[in-house]
Chains A and B, each alone.
Chain A
């Protein structure tokens, strides 16, 4: 507890590569939840012990594949009701998980626990530069209230420039129907 400022948490955690359970990395972090203005995202500082895996090859394959599509990519319900994700959509889903991490961070308080539940819809947006742009409609599951919250996010990605969420907005519940 830090009077007049907020609550600070010191964390020691292990990061596990979702695609390779044996690949782990130790991490320490400090998270500060601000008192008062709940509209500010918690402040996060972290250090990673060692390096994250190099994903250049997979990144480039995905990048080339999308760049060479004749028509802009469009897809929905990833995973589907049965939890299936087609191999071509797997990177699209991973990208959404990373991008939703940003959205979740920006909207988290000490009383929320968000997870990405599903990609309802994703549409590639044509760009004149080198970046890939995707317009996602995702569903976030908030554990405490158990609510499913539709959320729109615009995601930019480039193998060398990483992920950026340029725009995001919470959608009304009826956006689902």
Chain B
């Protein structure tokens, strides 16, 4: 019968565990029943369990750094080292399109990297996309990685993207908050803020999305260092924020700015710090409507849109309020999947669908920016 005993027979009264090859199942059952021997099934299908374990092990043993962006697993969450390695690989594989810039250092002295996608020119009008400003929002960094690869894959064959890159550059910062990100992987999966320390408090970190110089310190942020929405001692106190501020000011030609968060499935335009509507409200609202429709068209994912303050809550010192006030008209923030069932702990299998649908919305924004120079 080829029975494989996992708990060997001992003596009467002691149970026995046995793995039974499929063809032997019936004969064995018949034999046991005929002899009044009680049995129960512990595992229905051993092979299925083994297969499952294999895939799980491959996932976790793939903790060797990636070797190429073609074998990189986009459907799983990665460490900071893996993401930084991915960036270098992408640049090495596409030196004529992609370059990596270091725009500053985090509180814990980690490099802050931005990928630049450019087909040439000098200081072309540009689109900025960032992910991972809040470290626990893992689907965003993972989507950022996917976007980077997508740009490389499509930059010639996709008419829309090709035409965008003919006129504009794309800047992508995948991990805005690397200190926070590492902390979510080593200590506390729910960490949101940076990891800066402040005299007078044992609490760590500033909310990087309350630290920008737009309504800074006003209602919609906290002055308690222990709070998740602590705005920090002063605007741009966080090196992660200052680096982007300096970059944007020095570049001087950014035309669209998209900052990506999760979760809630929302698309926002400014303002968050005040209920005064932005002058370009009508246009931004129309773009949002189109972007959300494009996003939905792929998997039916529902998004709402509007200004930050009317759609979610008052929030001061936010990224896109500052960028809009700098003159970057097309300033948007996304809150990606889901709406709370998994929240920050979005299953890895949703990474790629989320990135795919979001990309369609991003393209709407980028195409609009391309077609409406200012």
Contacts and interface: CB of A to CB of B under 8 A. Distances in A.
Interface of A: 18, 79-84, 115-118, 139, 141, 143-148, 173, 176-177
B190 A83 contact: no
A109 B228 CA distance: 19
B296 to A, nearest CB: 15
B84 interface: no
Interface in B253-268: 264
A134 to B, nearest CB: 20
A115 B264 CA distance: 11
A83 B138 CA distance: 10
A145 B340 CA distance: 15
A177 B188 CA distance: 8
A68 B76 CA distance: 35
Contact of A79 (B184, B185, B207, B345): B345
Interface string B334-367: 0000001111111110100000000000000000
B42 to A, nearest CB: 12
Contact of B347 (A83, A117, A143, A176): A83
Q: Helix, strand, loop or mixed for chain A's interface?
A: loop
Contacts of B346: 83
A117 B345 contact: yes
Q: Which of A81, A115, A146, A173 has the most CB of B within 10 A?
A: A146
A147 B227 contact: yes
B190 A117 contact: yes
A110 B191 CA distance: 26
Contacts of B340: 115-116, 141
Interface string B261-286: 00010000000000000000000000
A53 to B, nearest CB: 18
Given A115-B343, A144-B313, A176-B188, A83 B227 contact: no
Interface residues of B, number: 28
Given A18-B341, A145-B227, A145-B228, A82 B192 contact: no
Nearest to A21: B300
Contacts of B264: 143
Contacts of B312: 143
B105 interface: no
A105 to B, nearest CB: 15
Q: Which of A83, A145, A148 has the most CB of B within 10 A?
A: A83
Given A18-B341, A83-B342, A146 B228 contact: yes
B40 to A, nearest CB: 9
Interface string B67-96: 000000000110000000000000000000
B229 interface: yes
Contact of B345 (A118, A143, A144): A118
A46 to B, nearest CB: 20
Contacts of B350: 83
A75 B38 CA distance: 30
Contacts of A84: 347-348
Contacts of B343: 115-117, 141
A126 B219 CA distance: 49
A83 B188 contact: no
Contacts of A83: 342, 345-348, 350
A118 B344 CA distance: 9
Given A83-B346, A83-B350, A146-B207, 13 more contacts: A18-B341, A79-B342, A79-B345, A80-B345, A81-B189, A82-B345, A82-B348, A83-B345, A83-B348, A139-B190, A141-B190, A145-B222, A145-B228
A145 B190 contact: no
A144 B343 CA distance: 14
A18 B346 CA distance: 15
Given A115-B340, A146-B192, A148-B190, A82 B229 contact: no
B77 A81 contact: yes
Nearest to B77: A82
A146 B77 contact: no
Contacts of A177: 188
Contacts of A176: 188, 190
B269 to A, nearest CB: 20
A99 to B, nearest CB: 16
B313 A81 contact: no
A18 B339 CA distance: 12
A84 B76 CA distance: 11
